[in-house]
Amino acid sequence: NAGVTQTPKFQVLKTGQSMTLQCAQDMNHNSMYWYRQDPGMGLRLIYYSASEGTTDKGEVPNGYNVSRLNKREFSLRLESAAPSQTSVYFCASTGLGNTIYFGEGSWLTVV
């Protein structure tokens, strides 16, 4: 019963460094998402993938890239991290219907 699994859970980066957040789901869901959560802002959509092989920008895509590697996996890459990208990142997926299932979050600090 893993659901949505994302790694790493915690990461500290220096400004300008790059990193990739990994996400995998075992629910055979078609759609996958990356959200960020910031105080007072709720959850904001960074990128999403409606199905394997497709990706689209969400509300706040600048500074990020994504890869839908296969149906299970959807990764988020920060090419040159900035302090404004300090946040909690959530991967999510959904099958039929609009109920989204979230991973446990990745806490990223950029110094």
Contacting residues toward another protein, per CB under 8 A: 4, 31, 33, 35, 40-45, 48, 50, 58, 90, 92, 94, 98-105
Closest approach of another protein to the CB of residue 43, in Å: 4
Residue 18 or 54: which CB sits closer to another protein?
A: 54
CA dist., res. 49 & res. 104, Å (int): 19
Closest approach of another protein to the CB of residue 101, in Å: 7
Residue 14 or 97: which CB sits closer to another protein?
A: 97
Residue 98 zone, left/alpha/beta (φ > 0; ψ -120 to 50; rest): alpha
Decide the pairing of beta strands 10-13 and 106-110: parallel
Residue 56 or 79: which CB sits closer to another protein?
A: 56
Closest approach of another protein to the CB of residue 79, in Å: 24
54 token code pair? 């497709």
